[in-house]
Amino acid sequence: MDEPQSTSGDEQFRCTLILPTYDATDFIESTVTRVRDFLSQHPDWCALFVVDGCPHGTGEKLQPLVANLAPQIRMDNCLQNRGKGHVLRRGLDMAKTPFRIYTDVDLAYDPDEALKILAVLENGADLGVVNRASPDSRFIMSPMDFPRIYKRHLMSRSFNWWLRRMLPIRILDTQAGLKGLTAAAWEIIGPHMTSDGFFFDVELLARAGAAHMRIEEIPVLVRYVDPTTVKMVTHGWAMIKDTVRLRKSLRKATSKVSVTVHPVTRAQVHRV
């Protein structure tokens, strides 16, 4: 039975940094060091690595690195590979702090960038997301990566344009790997989340939009890492089908709710 490990102890912290972890053997030691350094400067934070049934020894290498760092740094190891969405749902359920932020395990977004997310959540936002398309965002990359990142940028913009017309999403960058939300927001959204894969971010934002939650976008400093685990050619068609299914599901849910719930007033809706 692939049961979550105990999360006792994280109630003393204010924010959990969740790191979905897969195939990270080559750099996991560096990630643990950077996370440990970040937490030493922010003792009201804790970190949770959720390992997605890695076949290449990531869990075995990570376990001794964090064995003596609990409760501030903990690890949960899924026995089977289920996908990024599955381990994120698992990690967000396991966290008991008022604020929960997740980021990519390669730390393309420096942990200090997560402080920006926490700031908007503490200021009243239900969700905080970084926006790589913001004019104020900055990239660190090799000149050799310019052609690839520009091509990916165009594909991402096209996909996000389509998503904003299909789903109750208003933000410009759905797939950025640094997002956070309040415990109260996850309590509302979490029970309805179903995605086990990379569609998790889209579903999260769409369900938050359908619930008229307050979502804030933040410029970010990102270190460009290639290759990405999201391949538009191999994952794109599946995400399109997931989008259509989610659109139908949200419309069906809205039609049921409208029979018994008074319409939301303009003052209650925060438009991003």
- CA 262 vs CA 206, 259, 265: distances in Å: 21, 8, 9
Please state the φ and ψ torsions of residue 54, each to the nearest 5 degrees. Answer: -70, 130
In the chain, where the domains are located: 1-107, 130-176+191-255
* pLDDT for residue 4: 52
Beta carbons within 10 angstroms of residue 205's beta carbon: 25
* pLDDT for residue 144: 76
Query: pLDDT means per 10 residues in the chain (272 residues)?
Result: 54 95 94 98 98 88 95 93 95 97 96 98 98 89 70 72 90 92 98 94 96 97 66 65 91 61 39 34
DSSP string across 155-208: HHHHHHHHHHHHSS---S-SS-SEEEEEHHHHHHHGGG----STTHHHHHHHHH
Contact 17, 50 (CB under 8 A): no
* pLDDT for residue 62: 96
Report the CATH fold assignment for 1-107. Answer: Spore Coat Polysaccharide Biosynthesis Protein SpsA; Chain A (3.90.550)
Beta carbons within 10 angstroms of residue 227's beta carbon: 7
